Structure 1
Amino acid sequence: AMSILLEQQHFSPVVNTTIRLAYRSPLHYDANLQVKIQSSCRRYSKHKMAATESTSERLNVTSACSAATEFIKIYYDYVDKMRHKLSKLYLADAEMVWNGNQLHGAAAIQKFYEQLPVSQHSIRCFDSQPVNSRAVGEQSSLLVTTGGSVFYKGKRSDFHQSFLITSQDEKWKVVSDCFRFQQFVPAAATPAT
């Protein structure tokens, strides 16, 4: 069970949309999620091409949020429960930086995750937006950022993760991925004057 809050802020000519997810329980695997991701990828591509110029931005943002929601569900489920299949979610030449560890290629990323302790991710919020077609041409691409917490060996850590995902063979694939633990940094003491 999750609650979704959709906030829209309109900035001419850009539409900015944020979706926040609050999960009451950890993500659970759903065999239909891969089909949903493929479907959302097709819907996003169709909206991107079919929409008129004035409504295009709204449709793209709405479709991007829908696609990102489905992608995030399956991505973290793969990381937590099916790491042996994780490379399927990345392009063959994908790049990843995980807390300063730079990895190149889907196989290397999967191998890295397979060496980590068992994890349990809980996503508190995320944001998604389509990448401007001037940057990627007709290639459907999304920028997705997530924030939440993860348990490794019973120890909880907050994290932030950013993805650039793109459509390939009607599936969303990660092009670039940056994961970073969020650590509290105490405010510096104010010097006496």
Structure 2
Amino acid sequence: MHRSYQPLKPVTNRYLQQKWDQENFDYHRKKVMSALPAVDTKGSKTPSHVQLKLKKLQLQDERLTIIDRDNRLLASRLASIVCSRGLVDHCNHYHIKSLNADRRRQELQIMGRQNLDIYRRLSSRQSEYRKQVWLQDWERTSRLREDISRYPPLSRDKQVRNMPLEKKEAIHSFMTTQKCLEFAVGEELQTELSFKRNRFE
């Protein structure tokens, strides 16, 4: 970078002149930074008793001492209560009973019966879609694809792997919903059977 340096006066070596000028400038800046002001602008020193605040520290120590003493007294009283047993056995051993347990059981039985009826109606309902026709159409389409294709068809794993992400998420959400429905219907069936068993017992 010394070639682009332009000194004030003509010199024989620009590199050395740039180095000397930089040293002079750094020395000047150090003198400017270390220069002291002619007027003393420093504030007065804060007294030590104002900084420490001994009275506040004393009051805080006294308050902590009182709190510690009260805590020790309370801990000793609690320990004596726990260690010493009363002269009279006043423990009441009883089971917690709910006031509306029968009502909730009846509502649960009604819900179980309703769900069971819905499940039976759904199971006995015949599908309006012609599944056999769709299967035959798909088989015919598969045969045509195999006849006109140059390479063998992909397996199911490769098809799922090459499937778009949106379609995978849709299939996954549909399967999750189906599993949740089957689990809910199964729970209702188990509840209905348990209620009937308890009723006969």
With the shorter chain as reference, the TM-score category is under 0.3
Structure 1 length normalisation: TM-score?
Answer: 0.19
Structure 2 length normalisation: TM-score?
Answer: 0.19
Higher helix share: 2
Q: Which one has a bigger Cα radius of gyration?
A: 2
